[in-house]
Amino acid sequence: MAMVTGLIPILRTALEATTDYTGRTMWFGFAVVRLLALYVSELPWSKLDLDFVCRGNDSSEFCRKACFSQHFNVPVVSMWNSAYIFFVASLLLMELFTSQLRHNLIKDTVRKKMTQCDGALLGAWSSELAHKDLVLDFHQQRALLLLYLLCILLRLLGELSFLYMLFWWHLPLVSSDPIHCSTPLCPGPFMCLLRFPAEKLMSLYLLGSLSAILALVCILFGLYSIFHYLANCRTRQEQCV
């Protein structure tokens, strides 16, 4: 239910917006797919504390929790959620500026029409213009193109950081081998096991694969935007505002 609730505003933003630009549908599609992957990946980790079992000279619950805290010394699911929030924030940043640009374009157009139309016709025309779909051309909007490239760069840095966290922080925490534990309050030694390691590894590989695909798409789309829009604009010596 929570996943469906999270999908609704994303889909509504993607479908109901009246401003479109290159790749917009693709990025919102990735946001939906990533939310679904995040939901599936969190299932094997939902009972992580119960999946961590220990045996030793003193197998008390306190010592088990001490070993658990020592082994899982970095956040896991909260980092996944933070990475997703960062990805959605980069989408909303682009949406914010395109919305403001659309508002400015409508104001400029209405200002030019004020001397040509009476009040009633102008009101009806401006209302129709506000609901009309606007496709932004990066050839003409150079400032918007630079912002778009900045958003892509932020996504790329976010995905590379997420991959680092997955494979250098989280992957070593999951193992089918016994975990040796000894803490100052519980000298042990203890032998601990993490149950269902295969499912947890699968969730890491799923998120890692999707993040790698997103990083590759960011690189390819960034290069495409640079050579197709920015380079062509300079070659043709167009006036890009």
CATH code, domain with 183: 1.20.1440.80
Average pLDDT, the chain: 78
Is residue 222 in some structural domain? yes
When pLDDT is averaged across residues 45-63 and rounded to a whole number, the result is: 81
> Which range (29-33, 57-61, 173-177, 232-236) has the least confidence?
232-236
Please give the residue that has the higher pLDDT: either 36 or 106: 36
Check residue 81 and give its pLDDT. Answer: 92
Is residue 153 in some structural domain? yes
Cβ atoms within 10 Å, residue 104: 10
Among 50-59, 170-179, 205-214, the range of highest mean pLDDT? 205-214
User: Token digits for 228?
Assistant: 């197709």
Is residue 241 in some structural domain? no
Check residue 107 and give its pLDDT. Answer: 64
Is residue 138 in some structural domain? yes
When pLDDT is averaged across residues 115-127 and rounded to a whole number, the result is: 48
Is residue 58 in some structural domain? yes
Please, what's the b/e burial string for 203-220 (b: 16 or more CB within 10 A of its CB; e: otherwise)?
bbeebbebbeebbebbee
pLDDT at 124 over 50: no
Is residue 96 in some structural domain? yes
Check residue 129 and give its pLDDT. Answer: 44
Domain count, the chain: 1
Contact status, residue 134 vs residue 105, Cβ threshold 8 Å: yes
When pLDDT is averaged across residues 12-27 and rounded to a whole number, the result is: 66
pLDDT at 123 over 60: no
Distance from the Cα of residue 110 to its chain's centroid: 37
User: What distance in Å separates the CA atoms of residue 134 and residue 146, rounded to the nearest whole number?
Assistant: 19
When pLDDT is averaged across residues 38-62 and rounded to a whole number, the result is: 84
When pLDDT is averaged across residues 155-160 and rounded to a whole number, the result is: 95
The model's pLDDT over 63-112, given as tens digits with 9 standing for 90+, comes to 888 889 889 999 999 999 999 999 988 888 888 887 777 666 666 555 55
pLDDT at 138 over 50: yes
Query: CA quadruple 235, 236, 237, 239: dihedral positive or negative?
Result: negative
Contact status, residue 186 vs residue 89, Cβ threshold 8 Å: no
Check residue 189 and give its pLDDT. Answer: 79
Is residue 145 in some structural domain? yes
Helix (H) or strand (E) holding 193: strand 190-194
Q: What band does 16 get if pLDDT is binned at 50, 70 and 90?
A: low
Alpha-carbon distance values, 177 to 36, 59, 108, 174, 194 (Å): 30, 19, 67, 9, 8
Q: How many CA atoms lie within 13 A of 179 on its CB side?
A: 23
User: Token digits for 237?
Assistant: 């010596």
Residue in the block written with tokens 């797919």: 33
| Domain region containing 76 | 2-236
Is residue 229 in some structural domain? yes
Contact status, residue 137 vs residue 241, Cβ threshold 8 Å: no
Contact status, residue 120 vs residue 36, Cβ threshold 8 Å: no
Contact status, residue 41 vs residue 203, Cβ threshold 8 Å: yes
pLDDT at 210 over 90: yes
